[in-house]
Structure 1
Amino acid sequence: MNIMIAARHFDLTEPLKSRIEQRLASLEKFSADLMEAHVVIEMEERRCKAELTLHTRTSDFFASAKSYDTYLAVDNVIKKLKKQLKAHQERLKERKQKA
């Protein structure tokens, strides 16, 4: 999976970058056809806003989260996306069982 990380209004540190890559690697167990992940982390005054767009072969997923802690915002946005991927996977399973 190709991961593109952008930081706005602050400098992206290496520990934060490695944490994002590590957390995104855990999403690969939900779908084998993950192609690209776009992560945008933006500082708004004292709050951090994290946005994550995940592209697969068949669909796209988007989530965003805000927090005062950058690491917490990243964890929350990945948690939201994981929930979306699980729901999508369940829908695909249901569709296959009915046919």
Structure 2
Amino acid sequence: MQLNITFRQFGSSDALKEYAKEKVERVNKYLDRAGEAHVVLSLERHLHHAEITIHSGAWVLRGREKSEDMYASIDLAMDKIEAQLRKYKEKIKNHHGRDRVHHRQGLVNQLKVRHKVFELPEELMDEAAEVPAAQPAPSTPAAEQSSTRIVRTSEITVRPMPVDEAVMQMNLMNQDFYVFQHATTHEVCVVYRRKEDGQYGLIATHGTTPTGG
């Protein structure tokens, strides 16, 4: 497995590199082929953040955690990944045996979407909390929008797959949503985990036909 480790906001540590390498390589007991892994270790507001991403064939596994100790954050992030691997171990292996052309890396003309995580100023957070759940939040003026702080930006490749595989990929990445292209309808869809009951929801985009006035 090819492993890359990035340190942000604090100096590189050989001890942490070795510890992260040892922990990440534990996935080999679950996977026939783990191609590459990327570990990002960062310090923010006195908390130690660990983000671990592992590519295995068509699948992406991810765990993010933070604590007051970097070694503990690495452990917690890997615990998330291993929990999903135990759940989907057989499905991942079976899928590797029938790799599809549209899942292979290097496919041209793939659709990509940008995902940004941002922080609202404290006064806007208070306003949002006061809005009743059944009503839409008021639009934010451009001047206030400019005061938001982008915490993280990532690019998501939108791949064609059935809904059940999209749910599986979402869980493997330990996310609450996942953007994909429906394998049958070719619509760009979002599958997400409902907070109310733990079930899954599906949002699909589709074109509309203009009607004459």
For 1:72 and 1:11, locate their aligned partners in 2 and report how far apart those are by CA, in whole Å: 18
CA deviations over 1:68-95 (Å, ceiling 9, x no partner) = 1010001110111111111111445899
- Cα 1:94–1:33, aligned 2, differ >3 Å: closer, same or farther? closer
Q: How far does residue 58 in structure 1 lie from its aligned partner after superposition?
A: 2.3
Aligned to 1:39: 39
Larger mean CA deviation between 81-90 and 42-51 belongs to: 81-90
Q: 2:31·2:93 contact (CA, 8 Å) conserved in 1?
A: no
Query: Which residue identity is paired with 1:77?
Result: A
- Describe the SS at the equivalent of 2:58: coil
Structure 1 unaligned residues grouped into runs of 5+? none
Q: Per chain length, whose mean CA-contact separation is higher, i.e. which structure has more relative contact order (CA < 8 Å, sep 6+)? A: 1
Alignment of 1:15-94 (within 5 A): 15-91=15-91
Structure 1 residue ranges (4+ consecutive) displaced by more than 3 angstroms after TM superposition: 90-95
For 2:62 and 2:93, locate their aligned partners in 1 and report how far apart those are by CA, in whole Å: 21
- Cα 1:81–1:18, aligned 2, differ >3 Å: closer, same or farther? same
When the two chains are superposed, the root-mean-square deviation of aligned CA atoms in Å is: 1.8
For 1:76 and 1:12, locate their aligned partners in 2 and report how far apart those are by CA, in whole Å: 20
Q: Which has the higher helix share?
A: 1
Question: How many residue pairs align between the two structures?
Answer: 95
Q: 2:7·2:41 contact (CA, 8 Å) conserved in 1?
A: yes
Q: 2:30·2:89 contact (CA, 8 Å) conserved in 1?
A: yes
Larger radius of gyration: 2
Q: 2:5·2:39 contact (CA, 8 Å) conserved in 1?
A: yes
Query: Which residue identity is paired with 2:83?
Result: K
Query: Which residue identity is paired with 1:37?
Result: A
TM-score, L = length of structure 2: 0.42
For 1:35 and 1:8, locate their aligned partners in 2 and report how far apart those are by CA, in whole Å: 24
For 1:18 and 1:92, locate their aligned partners in 2 and report how far apart those are by CA, in whole Å: 27
Q: 2:32·2:93 contact (CA, 8 Å) conserved in 1?
A: no
CA deviations over 1:22-68 (Å, ceiling 9, x no partner) = 11121101001100101001100210111111101121111100101
Query: Which residue identity is paired with 1:45?
Result: R
Query: Which residue identity is paired with 2:28?
Result: E
Aligned to 1:4: 4
